[in-house]
Amino acid sequence: MSVHVPVLGAEVLQWLQPRVGGLYVDATVGYGGHAASILAAAPGGRLIGLDRDEHALAGARERLAAFGERVRLVHADFAQMDTVLAGERPDGFLFDVGVSSGQLDDPARGFSYRADAPLDKRMDPSRGRTAADLVNELPAGELADILLRLGEERWAARIADFIVQARRRRPIATTGDLVDIIRAAVPAGARRGPGHPARRTFQALRIAVNGELDALQAGLAAASAALAPLGRIVVIAFHSLEDRIVKTTFRELGQRGFAVLTKKPVRPSAVETAANPRARSARLRALAREAVAA
């Protein structure tokens, strides 16, 4: 198993403040990097780790084996938090949302536009519609709405039209197929701008396939309801749509027995982004429940 270095690792511990004997939830446990740090910082404490990706859970199981019964790993979306917790009152929650490095680095998963692979994009490959299903079945208007709303793609309507034209000739089956269509749809001048021309479309389809924004809202609602007095919620988001949900939710909770700890999002240091360029867009926000539960 390759060891994945968690983003904002020191900052997570600073804002989560794990304590001796505490109970913590890593709502997107991934390969267990953040979870291992939390358990090490909370002697005698326990951690519940959730992930919808069985492959990631297998990696977390290996990485966290030394912590024994202090760890419980669950194959679940964090939107299923209520069921997983079954009445427990955790002292802290961590949400590290979005696609993981392990998922991006595995071409077969279809998350990356840099390798040709089946156009899947499901974080849980055992269920749900794939990105190929969406691009081959949805009307042009619905596709354009997804690309604009979830990817903030300037050329959403044009890309959707090119997708519909292409699938009339043959099904769009791979990431390479889709990248070629996007390159043809985006005007040459725009293709010369910063970033890959397929980046926003791939982001939008991934979010749509996995229902990520709805899951984030449901997960934050469940976490805030279950959080113990003086407990904390820490969220790392990687793009503006996620961060906007976190900011708005925290602001609302700040009027109802919670305190927003980060007035502005915490960003990675220059040292971290130099070592891990994928960290550059990370934004951390933290919230605490006040002493008396609402």
Q: pLDDT of 57-101, one tens digit each?
A: 999 999 999 999 999 999 998 889 999 999 999 999 999 997 776
For residue 293, pLDDT beyond 80: no
Q: What is the mean pLDDT of residues 181-200?
A: 89
**Topology of the domain covering 125-209:** DNA polymerase; domain 1 (1.10.150)
Q: Domain residues of the chain, as ranges? A: 9-102+212-289, 125-209
Which residues have C-beta within 8 Å of that of residue 259, sequence separation ≥ 6? 287, 288, 290
CATH topology match: 9-102+212-289 vs 125-209: no
For residue 292, pLDDT beyond 70: no
Q: At 39, which helix (H) or strand (E)?
A: helix 33-41
Q: What is the pLDDT of residue 135?
A: 98
pLDDT-derived band at 123, boundaries 50, 70, 90: very high
Residue 123: φ, ψ to 5°: -70, -30
Q: What value, to the nearest 5°, has the Cα angle with vertex 45 and ends 79 and 246?
A: 35
For residue 233, the cross-strand partners are 93, 287
Q: What is the pLDDT of residue 182?
A: 97
Q: What is the pLDDT of residue 191?
A: 81
Q: What is the mean pLDDT of residues 160-182?
A: 98
The type of residue at 23 is L
pLDDT-derived band at 107, boundaries 50, 70, 90: confident
DSSP string, 257-284: TEEE--SS-B---HHHHHH-GGGGG-EE
Q: What is the pLDDT of residue 195?
A: 82
pLDDT in tens, 207-220: 999 999 999 999 99
pLDDT in tens, 18-60: 999 999 999 999 999 999 999 999 999 999 999 999 999 999 9
pLDDT-derived band at 4, boundaries 50, 70, 90: low
Q: Which numeric CATH code is attached to 9-102+212-289? A: 3.40.50.150
DSSP string, 70-89: GEEEEE--GGGHHHHHTT--
Q: What is the pLDDT of residue 79?
A: 82
What is the distance, to the nearest Å, from the Cα of residue 270 to the centroid of all Cα atoms in its chain? 22
Q: What is the mean pLDDT of residues 135-160?
A: 97
Report whether 117 contacts 108 (CB < 8 A). Answer: yes
Q: Cα(201)–Cα(207) distance, rounded to whole angstroms? A: 10
Q: Cα(211)–Cα(218) distance, rounded to whole angstroms? A: 11
Residue 264: φ, ψ to 5°: -125, 155
Which percentage of the chain shows pLDDT scores above 70?
97
pLDDT greater at residue 194 or residue 63: 63
Q: What is the mean pLDDT of residues 256-279?
A: 95
Residue bearing tokens 């390759």: 2
Half-sphere exposure of 200 (CA within 13 A, CB side): 26
